[in-house]
């Protein structure tokens, strides 16, 4: 049977209290810098998936003995080049996290995995275009986040699927649709 590819990503969401705290940090950064706020998450796999595999992925997520996953934050970093990883919490790639992500990637025929992280700041402007920030400016944002976020770990639980905005455009952040998996 031929694969039916769609633009989508599988996420793990944080417990409600830490998610709310990070959501407030993300919103303040977005308001301050004219970018979009978004729901904090760890991308398990994506950004294209086999749509016919979603029922199996959902079953795996609901029955996995790996969830909830306790993960260790190793720092807050910044980087130029990928607008969705401008400032982010680095997450240690434990064997359990790697196994869950690899299993889900295999099930959904997703693209290769990126380093595990929870983004805090997207360099995506309100007109849905990537914004160029200087490395020193992103590092300053990261420094402020280090002082405000200050945690060493998270519990990842609620699996979700995220769909991009109109026309499969990930830069259309406010149009993303997030559903429980």
Q: Average of pLDDT values for 40-52?
A: 95
Output the pLDDT for position 30. 97
pLDDT the model gives residue 3: 63
Instruction: Give 1's pLDDT tier (boundaries 50, 70, 90).
Output: very low
Distance CA 119, CA 41 (A): 7
d(CA 161, CA 178): 6
DSSP letters, 73-88, are: EEEEEE-SS-GGGSEE
Long-range contacts of 134-140 (CB under 8 A, 24+ apart): 134/80, 135/78, 135/80, 138/78, 138/79, 138/80, 138/86, 138/87, 139/78
Phi, psi of 117 (to 5 degrees): -160, 165
**Average pLDDT for residues 49-64, to the nearest whole number?**
95
Which pLDDT band holds residue 152 (cuts at 50, 70, 90)? confident
- The pLDDT > 90 percentage for the chain reads 91
Domains, the chain: 5-180 (3.90.1140.10)
pLDDT at 165: 86
Rounded to the nearest 5°, which phi and psi values hold at 171?
-70, -15
Average pLDDT in the 89-114 region?
96
Cis peptide before 100, with omega less than 30 degrees from 0? no
Q: What's the pLDDT score for residue 6? A: 92
Show Cβ contacts of residue 30 under 8 Å, excluding neighbours closer than 6 positions: 36, 37, 38, 121, 122
With a pLDDT cut of 70, the percent of the chain lying above it is 98
Would the pLDDT of 140 be above 90? yes
**Which pTM was predicted?**
0.93
b/e string for 120-157 if b means 16 or more Cβ within 10 A? bbbbbbeebeeeebeeeebbebbebbeeebeeeebebb
């Amino acid at each position: 049977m031929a694969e039916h590819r769609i633009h989508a990503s599988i996420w793990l969401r944080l417990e409600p209290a830490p998610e709310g705290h990070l959501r407030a940090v993300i919103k303040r950064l977005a308001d301050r810098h004219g970018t979009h706020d978004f729901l904090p998450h760890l991308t398990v796999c994506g950004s294209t998936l086999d749509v016919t595999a979603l029922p199996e992925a959902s079953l795996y997520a609901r029955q996995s003995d790996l969830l909830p996953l306790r993960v260790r934050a190793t720092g807050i970093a910044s980087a130029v080049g990928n607008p969705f990883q401008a400032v982010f919490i680095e997450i240690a790639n434990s064997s359990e996290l790697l196994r869950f992500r690899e299993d889900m990637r295999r099930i959904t025929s997703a693209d290769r995995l990126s380093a595990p992280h929870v983004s805090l700041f997207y360099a995506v402007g309100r007109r849905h275009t990537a914004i160029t920030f200087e490395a020193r400016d992103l590092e300053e944002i990261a420094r402020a986040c280090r002082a405000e976020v200050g945690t060493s770990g998270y519990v990842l639980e609620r699996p979700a699927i995220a769909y991009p905005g109109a026309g499969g455009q990930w830069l259309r952040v406010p149009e993303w649709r997030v559903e429980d998996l």
